[in-house]
Amino acid sequence: MSKANVRRQLVLLEKNKVPKEKTTTTLSPNFSYKHLKRIYPIGLHKSSSSSSLSLSSLSLSLSENSIDSSSINDSTSPLDQKISLALRLIAPPPQRRESPVAKVFQQQSQSFQDMDNGELRRCNWITKNSDKVYVAFHDECWGVPVYDDNQLFELLALSGMLMDHNWTEIVKRRELFREAFSGFDPNTVAKMGEKEIEEIASNKAIMLPDCKVRCIIDNAKCILKIVRECGSFSSYMWGSVNHKPVINRFRYPRNVPLRSPKAEAMSKDLIKRGFRYVGPVIVYSFMQAAGLTIDHLVDCYRYSECVSLAERPWRHI
C-alpha cells in the first residue's frame, strides 16, 4: 500500500471520529433546572425502606446519555455541579396557609365571645361591674318584641321612671312594682283610689313619689280608651312602626340615638291622648325595651337573636 492510500485512510478515520466527539453532552453556563428536566425527566421519590431519596433513575439517565462514563464519575464535572444545584432547588412543600375566607368566617364565629375570659360579648354598656340583675334584663328582656298589653304597660311605666333612676335601680325593684300595681293590668290599675295611692307612695322600698303613682294610674285609664278604640294597646303601639320592629345596625354606643322620628311622633300622639311622662326620650327608651326598635350593637350576641325574632311574621292577635 502506498503512502497516499495510507493518508486517505487516516483522513477517513478522523472524519468518522468527529460526530462522536460532538455528541458529548455539554451544559452552557446559562443552563437552568427547567432545561435539565427536559433532558433528564427524573422522578425523585422516597424509598419505602428508608427516608433517603432514590437516585436510581438519575444514574440510569446519566449512563444512557453519556459517552464517557468515567467523566460522569468525576465529582468536579459541570454536569454534577448542575445536578447538585438542581437538587438543592428542590425544597419541601410550603406550609398550608389559612384562606382569607376561612379566617373571616372564624372571626365572625368568635366575634360574639370575649377571648380573654370566654364570656359572651354584650353591648358595651354592659361591663364587668354591671349588676347581675341588669345583665339579665339585657339578655332576656331588652330588645325582645313584646305584644302583651300588660307587659307593654309595664315597660312604659318603667321607662317613665328613667327620669329619676337608671335601669339597674328600676329592674331591681321590678317585682315590687308588679306587686304594687297588680301585674300592671290596666283594668285593675285604672280603678285604684286614694288609699292605694297613699299605700304605694309610702312604701320606702318602692321609692315612688305620689305624683308618679298618680301618673301610672292615669296612663292606665288612657290605655283602656285605646283598647276600646283600637282593640288592644299592643295593636296601637305596633301600628306606629307598621307592625314590624325597626332594625338598626349600630356598632358603637355613640351611634345609638336618644330619640327617633318615630318616637317623636308616638310621643306627640300619646300626649294628645292624655298620657303623662311620655316625652320622645322616654318613648324611645320604651321602644328599645319592648323590641319596637332593635338597638343591640351588632357585635352583641343578642343582636342576631332579637333580629330573628323581629323578622318573624307579626304575631300579635
> What does R_g of the chain's alpha carbons equal in angstroms?
44
| 52: DSSP letter | S
Give 3-state DSSP helix, strand, coil % of the chain, rounded to 5: 55, 5, 40
Q: Is the dihedral of CA 286, 289, 291, 297 positive or negative?
A: positive
Query: Is 230 part of any known ligand binding site?
Result: no
- Quick one: pLDDT at residue 312? 75
Q: CB–CB of 180/193 below 8 Å?
A: no
Q: What is the mean pLDDT of residues 68-76?
A: 46
Query: Is 35 part of any known ligand binding site?
Result: no
| 162: DSSP letter | G
Query: Is 141 part of any known ligand binding site?
Result: no
- Averaged pLDDT of the chain: 77
pLDDT tens, position by position, 291-309: 999 999 999 999 999 999 8
284: nearest Cα among 156, 122, 169, 140: 156
32: Cα separation from own chain's centroid: 49
Give the DSSP H or E segment for 134: helix 132-140
Q: CB–CB of 159/168 below 8 Å?
A: no
Instruction: Tell me how far apart the alpha carbons of residues 275 and 223 are, in angstroms, rounded to a whole number.
Output: 9
- Quick one: pLDDT at residue 50? 41
- Quick one: pLDDT at residue 270? 97
Which residues lie across from 294 on neighbouring strands? 247
145-156 burial, b at 16+ Cβ within 10 Å, e below that, comes to: bbbebbbbbbbb
Give the DSSP H or E segment for 54: strand 53-54
- Quick one: pLDDT at residue 137? 96
Instruction: Tell me how far apart the alpha carbons of residues 80 and 207 are, in angstroms, rounded to a whole number.
Output: 96
Select, from the ranges 27-31, 49-53, 120-124, the one with the highest average predicted confidence (pLDDT): 120-124
Q: Which of 7-21, 165-179, 209-223, 239-253 has the lowest mean pLDDT?
A: 7-21
Grid cell at residue 133: 340583675
- Quick one: pLDDT at residue 317? 43
Q: CB–CB of 287/265 below 8 Å?
A: no
Please give the C-alpha separations between residue 197 and each of 181, 193, 212, 213, 277, in angstroms, as whole numbers.
Answer: 10, 6, 10, 6, 18
Query: Is 123 part of any known ligand binding site?
Result: yes
Which tops the pLDDT comparison, 199 or 15? 199
User: Which residue, chain included where needed, has cell 372564624?
Assistant: 106
- Quick one: pLDDT at residue 3? 52
- Quick one: pLDDT at residue 311? 79
58: nearest Cα among 89, 88, 37: 37
- Quick one: pLDDT at residue 97? 58
142: nearest Cα among 266, 251, 245: 245
Q: What is the mean pLDDT of residues 199-215?
A: 94
Which tops the pLDDT comparison, 104 or 271? 271
